[in-house]
Amino acid sequence: MRAPRALVLPEARRTEMTNKELTNWVNEVADHAKPDAVRWFDGSKLAMLSLEDRMVADGTLHRLDSESHPHSFLHRSHPTDVARTEHLTFICSKHEQDAGPTNNWMSPEQAQADVWPLFAGAMKGRTMYVVPYLMGPADSPWSRLGVEITDSPYVVANLAIMTRTGDAALRRFGPHTRFVRGVHSLGDLSPTRRFICHFPQTRTIWSIGSGYGGNALLSKKCHALRIASVEAHEEGWMAEHMMILGITNPQGVKHYVAAAFPSACGKTNLAMLVPSLPGWKVETVGDDICWMHVGDDGRLWAVNPEAGFFGVAPGTSRKTNPNALAALGRDVIFTNVALRKDGTPWWEGLGPLDDGEVLTDWRGNLWTPGTKEPAAHPNSRFTVSARQCPTVGPSFDDPQGVPISAIIFGGRRARLTPLVYEARDWAHGVYVGATLVSETTAAATGAVGIPRNDPMAMLPFCGFNMADYFGHWLSMGRRLVEPPKIFHVNWFRTDEDGRYLWPGFGENIRVLKWILERVEGSQAVRPTPIGNVPVQSALDLSGLDTARENFERLVAVDPRAWLEEVERNGAFLDRFGERLPEAIRREHRALADRLRTAIS
């Protein structure tokens, strides 16, 4: 028996039906996966409410307290399905060298033979949802279309928050419109039959065996980074794992910065910063992904392709990120957090519990403060519309995007990297990004504290050979009349006892202030072999006595330790062989020479 054909929509929502390539593809997937029914998700409030009611009825979602968290839900993943599975994520380019040494490669033919059969009948007993979505502002020439087919209503609900579904997407479809195709099925959730495959040549994504966000919300890392990075390389723009922040000083001068941090390293907190310095204001444009293009004025302009936040819950509090908490008061999907008896969510770092309080943990078991395991999973998440964040402003929907004055790289380095330093020029800045090293967090594999190279925070997300990716960065710089200045920050430097030397959070505005002063031409720097660091008089430390006492340790550069780092990074860069751009090798040699000179 053939699977049911895609349902025909009412006249007002049949725009996508004019695209025969789309409807033929939907029907082919339905014939293969054999769902019990096929539904086109139109993004309407009625469709969303109906979807939520069905998930509450079957236990996929649990309603939270309606007074404190109206229209909010808790979802619990399968215990084996709580993070990205990078070892099961593949780039299926035609040639292995085009995937490069940092990606897992599978030929399209092998994927067709080994992975596509796993979808055969995988949706029996389930509904197959077809979700057209738009990445980027509704009227932006830089926005892109995608369609995800999924048998997970939880995925549909998240897509409705994270992307622009409904009319915003449907009206962009015409008879010959190109779009990214994503096919997702929960399958049987077996880790042995779990694959996430990306086909750059056909702009196609397959994901089976997982319901976790990054593996199942194909609009996010799969489309907006892995596939988009390939499109960007071919078409002359940039798809980056970066937040976008607008900063206005007390004199009313506004700059926008883009910043790349590995997941769960403070990027969301920085994107929603509450400045500690009086008179400074911030505007959140994006917290995770940034698409950048060269404007008519020769500057670099950026849009946020996403419509929502898929943030890490543990550690989010009124102290660390009050704007995020303000956004989480309603219309939220929480994933793998704990639940208090009053029906409110809880996670480590949110705030104190009552004495003897018993919770329901992320697995659904009773939990007490004496339990060894955390109540919320370390990679537990919240999904919420960006428009609920108090710092999101009109730039969020600007179709032209915002001009970028500075690019910031950052990660967790306990002892080596100074609080902030400035690259010497664009090529050196590309090298700084290419040799970014950070300690891993639970967002990647569940393992924490393991240092690894993570170029531009894109190691898990670049859809092609990273040597070519570095070359693309270099070529973009040559096209810019006034390239953004490039910086590196490290909020996580510690003393010998493991105590942080920098207070972080709202105080990070002080570092951003120095960065913007450098953009505007301030000369208050101290040259070092790795780049320029601030002199103490240039960094506003008013009211931070401890930071003032620790200033020299915060900006110290140990040439011998850095030379060891250069040698280690050399081994990483050697993995790319002759494909590595000569400009990167030249920067690498020059840094080693400067460090040896400093030692001698």
On whether residue 93 sits in a domain, the answer given is: yes
The residue type of 27 is N
| Per-residue pLDDT tens over the stretch 53-75 | 999 999 999 999 999 999 999 99
92 labelled catalytic: no
The verdict on 160 and 265 lying in the same domain is no
On whether residue 77 sits in a domain, the answer given is: no
The verdict on 546 and 532 lying in the same domain is yes
Are 258 and 404 in contact by the 8 Å Cβ rule? The answer is yes
Predicted confidence (pLDDT) at residue 591 exceeds the cutoff of 90: yes
On whether residue 450 sits in a domain, the answer given is: yes
Name residue, tokens 């990167």: 584
On whether residue 6 sits in a domain, the answer given is: no
| Per-residue pLDDT tens over the stretch 204-222 | 999 999 999 999 999 999 9
| Per-residue pLDDT tens over the stretch 133-144 | 999 999 999 999
Three-class secondary structure of residue 298 per DSSP: coil
User: What DSSP string describes 137-175?
Assistant: -TT-TT-EEEEEEES-HHHHHHHHHHSEETHHHHTT--T
pLDDT average, residue stretch 409-419: 93
pLDDT value, residue 449: 65
The verdict on 102 and 210 lying in the same domain is yes
| Per-residue pLDDT tens over the stretch 273-308 | 999 999 999 999 999 999 999 999 999 999 999 999
Q: Does the reported pTM lie above 0.85? A: yes
On whether residue 119 sits in a domain, the answer given is: yes
The verdict on 123 and 209 lying in the same domain is yes
- Helix 559-574 vs helix 582-599: angle between axes, to the nearest 10 degrees? 160
The verdict on 364 and 424 lying in the same domain is no
The verdict on 373 and 407 lying in the same domain is no
Q: Which CATH number goes with the domain that contains 590?
A: 3.90.228.20
pLDDT average, residue stretch 511-519: 98
Contacts of 379 (CB under 8 A, 6+ apart): 82, 83, 264, 312, 336, 442, 443, 446
Confidence of residue 17 (pLDDT cuts 50, 70, 90): low
Q: Which CATH number goes with the domain that contains 140?
A: 3.40.449.10
Q: How far apart, in whole angstroms, are the C-alpha atoms of residue 96 and residue 106?
A: 8
On whether residue 286 sits in a domain, the answer given is: yes
Where is the binding site for GTP, in residues? 264-269, 381, 412, 505-508
CA nearest to 275, candidates 246, 304, 311, 251:
246
The verdict on 186 and 282 lying in the same domain is no
Q: What percent of the chain shows pLDDT beyond 90? A: 88
The verdict on 550 and 471 lying in the same domain is yes
On whether residue 73 sits in a domain, the answer given is: no
449 or 60, which is more confident? 60
Where is the binding site for Mn(2+), in residues? 221, 241, 288
Where is the binding site for substrate, in residues? 84, 212-214, 263, 379-381
Residue 581 sits at φ, ψ, to 5 deg, of -60, 140
DSSP letter (8 states) at residue 281: E
Three-class secondary structure of residue 528 per DSSP: strand
On whether residue 5 sits in a domain, the answer given is: no
| Per-residue pLDDT tens over the stretch 140-160 | 999 999 999 999 999 999 999
The verdict on 289 and 331 lying in the same domain is no
CA nearest to 335, candidates 287, 383, 406, 373:
383
Which of 220, 236, 252 is the last residue before a domain boundary? Answer: 236
Catalytic residue among 92, 197, 222, 265: 265
Q: Which CATH number goes with the domain that contains 353?
A: 2.170.8.10
Q: In the structure encoding, which two tokens stand for residue 547, read together?
A: 């930071």
The verdict on 303 and 323 lying in the same domain is no
pLDDT value, residue 10: 39
Report the chain's mean pLDDT, rounded to a whole number.
Answer: 94
Predicted confidence (pLDDT) at residue 264 exceeds the cutoff of 50: yes
User: What DSSP string describes 559-597?
Assistant: HHHHHHHHHHHHHHHHTTGGGS-HHHHHHHHHHHHHHHH
Q: How far apart, in whole angstroms, are the C-alpha atoms of residue 19 and residue 147?
A: 12
pLDDT value, residue 446: 53
Which of 372, 388, 404 is the last residue before a domain boundary? Answer: 388
Where is the binding site, in residues? 84, 212-214, 221, 241, 263-269, 288, 379-381, 412, 505-508
| Per-residue pLDDT tens over the stretch 323-375 | 999 999 999 999 999 999 999 999 999 999 999 999 999 999 999 999 999 99
Which of 236, 262, 280 is the last residue before a domain boundary? Answer: 236
The verdict on 277 and 325 lying in the same domain is no
pLDDT value, residue 3: 46
Predicted confidence (pLDDT) at residue 45 exceeds the cutoff of 70: yes
Count of domains for the chain: 3
Name residue, tokens 């035609």: 94
Look up the domain containing 326 and give its range. 309-388
The verdict on 353 and 494 lying in the same domain is no
Q: In the structure encoding, which two tokens stand for residue 420, read together?
A: 């902030």
